[in-house]
Amino acid sequence: MEILKVSHKSAPNKVAGAIAGVLSKTGEVEIQSIGAGAVNQAVKAIAIAKRFIENDGKELYVIPGFVEVKVGEEERTGIKFKVYIESEEKSE
């Protein structure tokens, strides 16, 4: 699974485009962020990506969790979001 790392300086629109691009190829992606600002940008990017995905008739799902990330010589706890898509089944 591809991992996208988001910082507090990340542009949500660009991250959303990256999320949508990976989802269109593989159907799943993991977003990792450390710190409140980074988590905020990641959540905004996921919300924007949801709009892109819905236009293709697919539903976006998110599973949050914790992740241990090594930054330099230090272990940090971050938030991860497993994002995946499924086609919507429209009944007639």
Q: Where are the domains of the chain?
A: 3-87
Q: What is the pLDDT of residue 91?
A: 44
Q: What is the pLDDT of residue 86?
A: 85
pLDDT, tens only, 37-78:
999 999 999 999 999 998 888 999 999 999 998 888 999 999
Whether the model pTM is above 0.85? yes
The CATH number of domain 3-87 is 1.10.10.10: no
* pLDDT of residue 81 exceeding 80: yes
CA–CA gap between residue 6 and residue 29 (Å, rounded): 13
49 close to 18: Cβ distance less than 8 angstroms: no
